[in-house]
C-alpha cells in the first residue's frame, strides 16, 4: 500500500505524539541517581532499564488508542499482529549503553512501515531537543519549534568520507575485516553514537554509516530518515535492509557503491 498525503500527515503527527509520550519516561530517569540496568544477556552486556520499558509502553498506548488495527514491532514487548497493512516499528531507547552512561546520543526510534518497508521514520533526542523526521515528502529536524530541512552531503569518494559505526568490533570477525577495509580508505572514522550518527548522516554531517548485527527495530526509522534526506540504505549485499542484520547508510550513490564493492564479499543473510 502507498500512503496518501493525508496518511503521511496523520501518521507523522501520531508518531510525534508517541515520541512526546516516550520522552516523558526517558527524561524522567535520564542521569538519575537511582537509574539501574538489568542485563538481557547471559554473556556480555545488553542493558535494559525501567525507562526502556516505560517508554515503549507509552508509545504503544498512543498508537493502540488511535489505530488499534495496526501491527506493532518493538524491542521490549511481544509483537502485535495487525489487519490494516500498517506496522509501527519502535525502539524506545536506541543506545541504552549511552543512556545509562549519561551521554545524550541515545534516541527514541519510531518507524511506520507498509509491505515495502519503512516509509516514515522519526529519530528523537529529547534531552537536547532535536527531532529528526523523514517521510516521503522529505526530511526535517525540529528544534526549539523550528523546522530545518535536511539533506545528505554530496560526498562521493571514500577518501573524503566521514564514517561512523556503533562498535569498533562491528560484528563477527569477518564483518570487522570488511568494515576495516572500508575504514582504511576513509578520511575520518568515529564510533559509539548509536542512532544519532544516522541522524547526523541525514543532516549532512556524516557521510557513511556501516553496521552489523542489527534488529529490525534498530534500522526502521534510520532507513526512512536517511532515504527521505536523499541518501541510500541497503544491507551489505545491496538489498533491502529493513529486516535487520547488516546495514550501509550512504550519502550518495557513488559512496554507497564504493563501500558496497568492498563489503559485498562479507555479506550474509
pTM for the model stands at 0.95
Structure confidence at residue 136 (pLDDT): 96
d(CA 222, CA 84): 23
The reply to whether 176 and 249 lie within a common domain is yes
Number of structural domains, the chain? 2
Under 8 Å between Cβ of 249 and 198: yes
**Domain span including residue 137:** 5-149
pLDDT given at position 269: 53
pLDDT tens track for 94-117: 999 999 999 999 999 999 999 999
Is the same domain home to 11 and 130?
yes
Q: Identify the domain boundary among 103, 128, 149.
A: 149
Q: What is the structure's pLDDT at 39? A: 78
The mean-pLDDT minimum among 37-46, 82-91, 193-202 falls in 37-46
Instruction: Specify the CATH number for the domain of residue 170.
Output: 3.40.190.80
Average pLDDT (56-84) is 97
Torsion sign (Cα): 225, 227, 228, 231: positive
Mean pLDDT computed over 203-223: 97
Contact 255, 157 (CB under 8 A): yes
Q: What proportion of the chain, given as a percentage, has pLDDT over 70?
A: 97
Last residue of a domain, one of 117, 149, 181: 149
Instruction: Compute the Cα dihedral for 97, 220, 27, 41 and give only its sign.
Output: negative
Q: Which residue has the higher pLDDT, 40 or 97?
A: 97
The whole-number pLDDT of residue 161 equals 98
If asked whether residues 191 and 67 sit together in one domain, one would say no
pLDDT at 221: 98
112 with 175, same domain? no
Tell me: pLDDT of 45 over 90.
no
Alpha-carbon distance 67 to 64, whole Å?
5
Residue 119 and residue 165 in one domain: no
Q: Which of 96, 131, 149 is the last residue of a domain?
A: 149
Shared domain check, 41 and 122? yes
Taking residues 169-192, what's their average pLDDT?
Answer: 96
- What are the Cα distances from residue 96, in Å, to 36, 54, 141, 176, 249? 11, 13, 22, 22, 21
pLDDT at 18: 98
pLDDT of 34? 78
CATH number reported for the structural domain that contains residue 105 in this entry: 3.30.540.10
**116/215 same-domain check:** no
Amino acid at each position: 500500500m502507498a500512503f496518501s498525503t493525508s496518511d503521511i500527515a496523520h501518521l507523522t503527527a501520531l508518531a510525534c505524539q508517541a515520541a512526546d509520550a516516550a520522552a516523558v519516561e526517558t527524561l524522567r530517569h535520564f542521569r538519575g541517581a537511582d537509574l539501574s540496568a538489568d542485563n538481557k544477556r547471559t554473556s556480555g552486556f545488553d542493558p535494559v532499564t525501567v525507562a526502556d520499558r516505560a517508554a515503549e509502553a507509552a508509545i504503544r498506548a498512543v498508537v493502540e488508542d488511535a489505530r488499534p488495527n495496526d501491527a506493532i514491532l518493538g524491542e521490549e514487548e511481544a509483537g502485535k499482529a495487525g489487519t490494516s497493512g500498517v506496522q509501527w516499528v519502535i525502539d524506545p531507547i536506541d543506545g541504552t549503553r549511552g543512556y545509562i552512561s549519561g551521554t545524550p546520543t541515545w534516541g527514541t526510534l519510531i518507524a511506520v512501515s507498509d509491505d515495502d518497508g519503512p516509509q516514515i521514520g522519526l529519530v528523537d533526542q529529547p534531552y537536547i531537543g532535536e527531532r529528526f523526521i523523514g517521510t516521503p515528502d522529505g526530511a526535517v529536524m525540529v528544534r526549539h519549534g523550528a523546522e530545518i530541512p535536511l539533506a545528505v552531503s554530496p560526498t562521493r569518494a571514500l577518501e573524503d568520507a566521514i564514517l561512523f559505526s556503533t562498535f569498533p568490533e562491528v560484528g563477527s570477525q569477518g564483518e570487522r575485516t570488511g568494515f576495516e577495509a572500508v575504514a582504511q580508505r576513509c578520511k575520518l572514522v568515529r564510533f559509539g553514537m548509536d542512532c544519532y550518527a544516522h541522524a547526523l548522516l541525514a543532516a549532512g554531517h556524516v557521510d557513511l554509516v556501516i553496521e552489523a548485527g542489527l534488529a529490525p527495530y534498530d534500522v526502521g526509522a534510520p532507513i526512512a530518515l536517511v532515504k527521505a534526506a536523499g541518501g541510500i540504505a541497503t544491507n551489505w549485499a545491496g538489498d533491502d535492509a529493513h529486516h535487520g542484520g547488516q546495514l550501509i547508510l550512504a550519502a550518495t550513490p557513488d559512496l554507497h557503491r564504493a563501500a558496497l564493492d568492498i563489503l559485498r564479499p562479507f555479506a550474509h543473510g
